[in-house]
Amino acid sequence: MSLLVVGLSHRSAPVSVLERASLAADQQTKLVQDSLAAEPATEATVLATCNRIELYADVDKFHAGVAELSTLLAQHTGVGLDELTPYLYVHYEDRAVHHLFSVACGLDSMVVGEGQILGQIKDALALGQELHTAGRLLNDLFQQALRVGKRAHSETGIDKAGQSLVTFGLEQLAGGTPVADWAAGRRALVIGAGSMSSLAATTLARAGVAELVIANRTLDRARRLAESLTGLVAGGDASDAPREAGAAADRRLIARAVPRDRVPAELPYADIVVSCTGATGLVLTADMLAEALDRRAEHRAEGVAGPGAAETVALLDLAMPRDIDAAAHRLAGLRLVDIESLAEAAATVSDQPTTSAGPMAADVDQVRAIVSAEVAAFGAAQRAAHITPTVVALRTMAADVVAGEIARLDGRLPDLDERQRAEITQTVRRVVDKLLHAPTVRVKQLASTPGGAGYADALRELFDLDPQAVAAVSRADANGTRPDGGVGRPGAAAVQTDPKRGRA
């Protein structure tokens, strides 16, 4: 069995294709289930974010696996296979591990170093666990990816180099002005109450907006978010404000929740609008925005808008597919930043020359070194774990041989007392253990090296081990059950070495 990932992201596909290829939660579930039903796959899960969709699977056939997973992606996204194929990338075995670890560290993100991807990797693992489609390999892989990502953020300065997509989007809207200065005193409307919307709301609150309205289909969820932010002071919470400073009270945030159908009524009063929902259609149409601008102009003429109202309404669309009509770009008085423009801005930033001595470049290099070391360690552990069932089966066979010989001895020497019998049994066991110790330790060491998978086959052949006995140990290990009847952490699945690499 071998790890295979087939996917597309902002690095391989235009946003227009990514938008069409996005999957709702129920579609992701069906994709994973169908992937497991496909013959080449024994484990599967999907990593889906606003700028990537990747299908991870443990397969026993490389070419068949690529063909099947590519076809399933096309079927479930609704993008024709012929159209989708040029944008797909394929990673296999160690390269697949390297890819996921790089993703976990933020090296493959639209904004290098952003940490939100860790939550999305955790969601992908949880999906596989919930559907029982993530077995020994994917559990170990994704759990290790989370640890590698956390290590990169704790041991390097990649956090300084990277930002969240929310922060990057707000910086684009601010146009070079510090976000805190740009947002201070403004009214903000956040549509949605999921993880990205919650991050946007918190970021705006800490940036100093005067009022924050959270609109969501589920009102209770919006209320909980609003309650958690009410009273927040720019840069901290209300308790951070100096009690003697009367101006501190003015900085305290007013946050409230409304149902999503109230969005048209709230739009004319909003200076900043952030939308990130799971809606399949547009949340804000061009007509809705044009009407809001007309009402906003009336309010400004009547003095209802307030002294802090901005001349231009800033729109940030973080949804995939988009929430805000792209035609908003043509409306005077609006500025729209969406995933497509963020991708262009991120590409511009990444194309700017940096010296290897620069802080960001040094952090990125350090993270890359961490990823490379972790990939090597993971591969060695996988290869070593592959031989464990064979070693256990060998020791079990040896124990059976000892038990059989002691039983024969009892028949030939029935007059042995318990002490004598126990001493003979212990002596025979020590001899067998000493004979097996060096070769089993050495074969584990050899198996952890590249190309070492064949040592398990050699051991089975030399000792004529029953394949069913080895398979039984593997099944017990995959279920977290030790051969002695105890329960332990599921072991790592085998990763066979194969030279095949490529793109779909």
Q: Do the bridges between strand 254-259 and strand 211-216 make them parallel or antiparallel, or are there none, so unpaired?
A: parallel
Q: Quick check: 180 and 208 in contact, CB under 8 A?
A: yes
For residue 415, how many other CB atoms are within 10 A of its CB?
5
pLDDT per residue as tens, the chain (504 positions): 589 999 999 999 998 899 899 898 899 999 999 999 887 899 999 999 888 999 999 998 999 999 999 999 999 999 999 999 999 999 999 999 999 999 999 999 888 888 889 999 999 999 999 999 999 899 999 999 999 999 999 999 887 765 678 989 999 999 989 999 999 999 999 999 888 899 999 999 999 999 999 999 999 999 999 999 987 665 554 444 333 334 444 567 889 999 999 999 999 999 999 999 988 889 999 999 999 999 998 877 776 655 456 678 999 999 888 999 999 989 999 999 998 888 888 877 655 554 443 456 888 999 999 999 999 999 888 877 777 777 788 888 888 888 888 888 888 888 888 898 899 999 989 998 888 888 777 777 777 666 666 777 777 777 777 766 666 655 555 554 444 333 333 333 333 333 333 333
Q: Quick check: 5 and 56 in contact, CB under 8 A?
A: yes
Please provide the DSSP assignment of 41-56 as one string.
EEEEEEEEETTEEEEE
Dmax (CA) for the chain in angstroms is 112
For residue 199, how many other CB atoms are within 10 A of its CB?
20
Alpha helices in 78-190 (DSSP H): 81-84, 94-104, 117-130, 136-155, 158-161, 165-174, 179-183
**CA atoms 14, 19, 20, 21: torsion sign:** positive
User: What is the three-class DSSP state of 415?
Assistant: coil
Q: Quick check: 182 and 209 in contact, CB under 8 A?
A: no
Q: Quick check: 489 and 136 in contact, CB under 8 A?
A: no
pLDDT of residue 71: 96
pLDDT of residue 380: 82
Query: What contacts 90, CB < 8 A, 6 or more positions away?
Result: 4, 5, 6, 66, 501, 502, 503, 504
DSSP 493: P
Query: What contacts 54, CB < 8 A, 6 or more positions away?
Result: 5, 6, 7, 8, 9, 46, 47, 48
Task: Considering the candidates 50, 196, 229, 334, report the single residue annotated as catalytic.
Answer: 50
Q: Do the bridges between strand 313-317 and strand 272-275 make them parallel or antiparallel, or are there none, so unpaired?
A: parallel
Spatial separation of the C-alpha atoms in residues 30 and 22, rounded to whole Å: 14
pLDDT of residue 450: 67
Q: Which two tokens stand for residue 486?
A: 């105890």
* 276 assigned to active site: no
* Neighbour-count burial of 331, counting CB atoms closer than 10 A to its CB (0-12 exposed, 13-18 middle, 19+ buried): middle
Q: Which residue from 64, 35, 24 is spatially nearest to 131, judged by alpha carbons?
A: 35
